[in-house]
Structure 1
Amino acid sequence: MKKIVIICWAFCSSFSLHAQDLVKGYVFEDRNENGRKERREKGLPEVAVSNGVEVVLTDEKGAYSLPVSEDNIIFVIKPAGYAVPVGEDNLPRYYYIHKPEGSPELQYKGVEPTGPLPRSVDFALYPREETKEFTAMIFGDPQPYTEKELELFAKGVVEKAKKEEGISFGISLGDLAGDDLDLHPKYVEVMQQTSWPWYNVLGNHDMNYDASSDAHSDESFEKTFGPSAYAFNHGDAHFIVLEDILYPDPRDGQGYWGGFRKDQLDFVENNLKHVDKNRLVVLSFHIPLLHENENSFRDSDRKRLFDLLKDYPNRLAISAHTHLQRHNFYTAEDGWEGASRFHEYNAGTTSGDWYSGQLNEEGVPISTMRDGTPKGYALLRVDGNQYQIDYQVIGKPLEHQIKIFNPKVVANNRGSSSGIFANFYMGDKDDIVEYKIDNGDWRPMNWTAAPDPSFMADVMEWDFMEKLSPGRRPSNPVNSTHLWRGSIPTNLPVGKHTITVRAIDMFGRTFTETSEYTIAEPVPF
């Protein structure tokens, strides 16, 4: 894909329109990829364009018109089989910001005044072959609070991720920075190391906290990344990116709350009118839709989103925010009325447990998350309107999906309250997890809601230290949603024995991992 630094918008004349209430322009096939619509370049019909609420299709000549206010971002919804211009920074350039007066005065700068609306705001598209089978890289919460942590993100994650092959694009699920919004451009510089476009989600730590209204909490984000709610197509999949953070919290004006503004859900509704129901719809946002209590996400917003999607049989939501990894399946109890369960993958994070823990051989914190999931990134593999998800643990082969915890030695023929624990990172309690000892029979393991004992041991090391190590103590463990337990046999011959664990995931794939333990003669009192 040809990279360009600046998109040139075509002006039909130098005359600037004042007090205009419509934005007009063309979506065109930019054959010479110079960003300007030229007479011989044809307009593209039936391409969706939006002002962030309304969505219209271009006519047979590629023309569109939309209502516009003094604070709008107009964007094209990329159709399958085409590419949008991408800057040298790997950011897709599919939008035009219209803020004649610029952003409000804020601690972190927003958009500079854009001046009068051009006579024609045109969007260039490049023909590109797109297969129905593709892979997208998914990052959760880079969240560097300092330039040092940004270096750790670059060295510990991006240096590894950039070696992946066959990636069509990436999505970073918010908290691109940790409150210091001046880090946004530096984060972009780090992500330039990869060779594919990156779409970005607004997180709660990417907001302008001194904004007086939710509508202005994303001004600095817009300056660097563009709209916080948008959509695009790739293959047979339709991707919708949303901001799901209400700030300030409408209940008391303090902090934030998970939810959507009405205009954002109106955009989803208007957008879906133009999306074939056989497509895979993938939603990306920051805060998960959890129905556990009213304090995490506004119920009415989740319900409206569910109602808009209930007639789409192939759908997936992807979120981050929690610094855990889990699968959330929503049913009628949560307000979901569509076919089967609504699947939300709450992705593990690239910062792990906020850059904590012991340092590895590269001097980067291991950052294991509180549920025992190692830090890493996900690979969303799409084939037509179906999907699978892989989790890539940093520094491990892709096949590594299970960590086993077991005692190193037990007494022969003496009962033990110890157990064999298997943390199946991408697991869900409905998955099948089994184990065997040596060449014995497979036995079922029992799903358990408990902290990962391996991570507990790592945390306790910090509390037994008599001299501080470099780095920072990890957060306290929490119950894992993907942990299984089995009893440990002691009635076998003295010596070493092999534990093999196998797990079958929700996509029907089998993963295995092994460990060892020793059976020894009991030591007499």
Structure 2
Amino acid sequence: MKKILFICWALCFSYCLHAQDTVKGFVYEDSNKNGKKERREKGLPQVAVSNGVEVVLTDEKGAYTLPIGDDDIIFVIKPAGYAVPVSENNLPRYYYIHKPAGSPDLEYKGVEPTGSLPRSVDFALYPTEEQESFTAMIFGDPQPYTEKELELFARGVVDKAKDEEGISFGISLGDLAGDDLDLHPKYAEVLKNTSWPWYNVMGNHDMNYDATTDSQSDESFEKTFGPSAYAFNHGDAHFIVLEDILYPDPRDGQGYWGGFREDQLDFIENDLKHVDKDRLVVLSFHIPLWHENENSFRDSDRKRLFDLLKEYPNRLAISAHTHLQRHNFYTAADGWEGAGRFHEYNAGTTSGDWYSGQLNEEGIPVSTMRDGTPKGYALLRVVGNQYQIDYQVIGKPLEHQIKIFNPKVVANNRGSSSGIFANFYMGDKNDKVEYKIDEGEWKTMNWTEAPDPAYLADVMEWDLMEKLVPGRRPSNPVNSTHLWRGSIPTNLPLGKHTITVRATDMFGRTFTETSEYTIAEPVSY
């Protein structure tokens, strides 16, 4: 009898242990949208579900099974043609957090204890019509350090962006807050004023700095936004969102370093096993894969990422962090072995140069970035497995893509070391940029890596002030990667002349901008 009781106890213990180590559930079509799986609601087969490392597909009944630990998030990878529930702040709810003991005791609160694992962790999906052609809004670095700066973001960016039409969803590329993680929920409330769901990336200013391990640095982020590494599908595109901050820096235990943990790279590998090779793969993370600051990203992690994607001919990476705007193209010299060049768009930011500069007529800092790019947001336009990117400058028509800097007046027939400068915000040095004077012939402008003189003039204005004005001095300028120069003719008739600049981008689209200057008689000594 004792032997039988012992066997029963052992079986029960084994079952409980197994139940604690395994999560089961269904992905189903929630026809009445009440968030509960009911018997008549069908399960959805071949839908990917993940624990942040492993990725499995549901069976013909919509069922899945995954291993789970005491600090995991289970999430469904939304298939194309379906939507997930959203919170009152338009945050997608596609995940279940399992932290029986809650987050560790940190300065900024994390997840409260979730208790025992439910018998079934189910994910509701709603069928929806998704076109193969769609537009996603991309934000970089809102980064408010205070509630006042959050208000500036709300009035200066969101109040403008919310009027965009045809947006399917948004992706915010990290630094949603500026170290004060209590601003995360308030930031989400601001984004509620748009009418589309927002997927969020974790940035280095969204971390729990008092965490002792990298895996715990996202505890407060998880509380508001869910997992820091996940994926979803929309149309013919597959989106992978990643936290790419190693904290503390494994080299010296101080600060942070750009890179991925092994489990994050394993997730990408396992996720891509279920993604057709002809789909567009879009990766979103905070720290760019390369920057002028050497060793800003761990080489081995970039190389493994490249190797995982080399069989995908259609791919794009989007990052932020730098408070500049540029395109990075990776080749074999950088470890990329796939077809063509690997394109990373390092997006401009909605905080611009950290809410600096003079105030506009609405009392909001102009915040032009150090490379002369005005603050704004990007519009990722996807058609099938191809993409284009537009940059929307805040307060300007979409057609405004170039800023011209030139002298206002030059002496007739007298040589000048001044020049015509064109800052083509979305430009790359391989783009074609030309200019003409009046109805003259088009001439090629020369790409130059130098500070934007228009931005430099704005900064110098602060240093020449004799009385302080509201606002904060902008940061010092840096070399722009999208600046072109042409000589300024002085051998033309006296009077006003029109400068026209046209630029053709990497997608074959042409943009124009005009400016004026005056040719006057020289003034004698």
Calculate the aligned-residue CA RMSD, in Å.
Answer: 1.1
Q: CA deviation at 1:87?
A: 1.4
Do the aligned residues in 2 keep the contact of 1:231 with 1:241 (CA within 8 Å)? Answer: yes
Do the aligned residues in 2 keep the contact of 1:208 with 1:216 (CA within 8 Å)? Answer: yes
Work out the CA distance in 2 between the residues paired with 1:428 and 1:450.
14
Work out the CA distance in 2 between the residues paired with 1:266 and 1:275.
15
Q: CA deviation at 1:293?
A: 5.6
Do the aligned residues in 2 keep the contact of 1:434 with 1:442 (CA within 8 Å)? Answer: yes
State the Cα deviation string for residues 123-169 of structure 1 (Å, max 9, x = none): 00000000000000000000000000000000000000000000000
Residue 185, structure 1, aligned to residue 185, structure 2: yes
Aligned residue runs from structure 1 range 368-379, under 5 A: 368-379=368-379
Work out the CA distance in 2 between the residues paired with 1:223 and 1:196.
21
Aligned twin of 1:92: 92
Letter in 2 for 1:523: V
Do the aligned residues in 2 keep the contact of 1:291 with 1:299 (CA within 8 Å)? Answer: no
Work out the CA distance in 2 between the residues paired with 1:470 and 1:295.
38
Q: CA deviation at 1:206?
A: 0.1
Q: CA deviation at 1:292?
A: 4.9
Task: Report the count of equivalent residues.
Answer: 511
Aligned twin of 1:11: none
Aligned twin of 2:46: 46
Aligned twin of 1:305: 305
SS at match of 2:182: helix
**Shift in alpha-carbon separation, 1:484–1:493, aligned structure 2, 3 A:** same
Work out the CA distance in 2 between the residues paired with 1:306 and 1:293.
20
Work out the CA distance in 1 between the residues paired with 2:195 and 2:65.
34
Work out the CA distance in 1 between the residues paired with 2:460 and 2:36.
61
Residue 144, structure 1, aligned to residue 144, structure 2: yes
Letter in 1 for 2:455: F
Work out the CA distance in 2 between the residues paired with 1:232 and 1:123.
14
Work out the CA distance in 1 between the residues paired with 2:335 and 2:241.
21
Q: CA deviation at 1:18?
A: 8.4
SS at match of 1:270: helix
SS at match of 1:266: helix
Work out the CA distance in 1 between the residues paired with 2:171 and 2:384.
19
Do the aligned residues in 2 keep the contact of 1:16 with 1:117 (CA within 8 Å)? Answer: no
SS at match of 2:104: coil
**Shift in alpha-carbon separation, 1:291–1:372, aligned structure 2, 3 A:** closer
Work out the CA distance in 2 between the residues paired with 1:201 and 1:134.
20
Aligned twin of 2:209: 209
Aligned twin of 2:487: 487
Aligned twin of 1:162: 162
Residue 74, structure 1, aligned to residue 37, structure 2: no
Work out the CA distance in 2 between the residues paired with 1:18 and 1:300.
36
Aligned twin of 2:11: none
Residue 457, structure 1, aligned to residue 457, structure 2: yes
Work out the CA distance in 2 between the residues paired with 1:326 and 1:46.
38
Aligned residue runs from structure 1 range 235-250, under 5 A: 235-250=235-250
Aligned twin of 2:444: 444
Work out the CA distance in 2 between the residues paired with 1:195 and 1:153.
17
Letter in 2 for 1:415: G
TM-score for the superposition, normalised by structure 1: 0.96
Aligned twin of 1:5: none
State the Cα deviation string for residues 319-372 of structure 1 (Å, max 9, x = none): 000000000000111110000000000000000000000000000000000000
SS at match of 1:300: helix
Aligned twin of 2:120: 120
TM-score for the superposition, normalised by structure 2: 0.96
Aligned twin of 2:358: 358
Work out the CA distance in 2 between the residues paired with 1:16 and 1:203.
38
Work out the CA distance in 1 between the residues paired with 2:74 and 2:18.
18
SS at match of 1:136: strand
Aligned residue runs from structure 1 range 204-283, under 5 A: 204-283=204-283
Work out the CA distance in 2 between the residues paired with 1:293 and 1:431.
25
Work out the CA distance in 2 between the residues paired with 1:141 and 1:513.
28
Structure 2: state its 5+ residue gaps. 1-14
Aligned twin of 2:317: 317
State the Cα deviation string for residues 168-201 of structure 1 (Å, max 9, x = none): 0000000000000000001011001000000000
State the Cα deviation string for residues 404-428 of structure 1 (Å, max 9, x = none): 0000000000000000000000000
Aligned twin of 2:6: none
SS at match of 1:91: coil
Do the aligned residues in 2 keep the contact of 1:330 with 1:341 (CA within 8 Å)? Answer: yes
Report % sequence identity.
88
Letter in 1 for 2:219: E
SS at match of 1:195: coil
State the Cα deviation string for residues 443-464 of structure 1 (Å, max 9, x = none): 0000000000000000000000
State the Cα deviation string for residues 52-86 of structure 1 (Å, max 9, x = none): 00000000000000000000000000000000001
State the Cα deviation string for residues 357-389 of structure 1 (Å, max 9, x = none): 000000000000000000000000000000000
Letter in 2 for 1:413: N
Do the aligned residues in 2 keep the contact of 1:18 with 1:116 (CA within 8 Å)? Answer: no
Work out the CA distance in 2 between the residues paired with 1:199 and 1:275.
20
Work out the CA distance in 2 between the residues paired with 1:203 and 1:295.
18
Do the aligned residues in 2 keep the contact of 1:17 with 1:116 (CA within 8 Å)? Answer: no
Work out the CA distance in 2 between the residues paired with 1:18 and 1:334.
45
Do the aligned residues in 2 keep the contact of 1:317 with 1:343 (CA within 8 Å)? Answer: yes
Residue 501, structure 1, aligned to residue 501, structure 2: yes
State the Cα deviation string for residues 294-316 of structure 1 (Å, max 9, x = none): 52000000000000000000000
Aligned twin of 1:4: none
Work out the CA distance in 2 between the residues paired with 1:141 and 1:290.
17
Work out the CA distance in 2 between the residues paired with 1:495 and 1:422.
22
Letter in 2 for 1:446: N
SS at match of 2:390: strand
Letter in 1 for 2:239: F
Do the aligned residues in 2 keep the contact of 1:286 with 1:319 (CA within 8 Å)? Answer: yes
Letter in 2 for 1:491: N
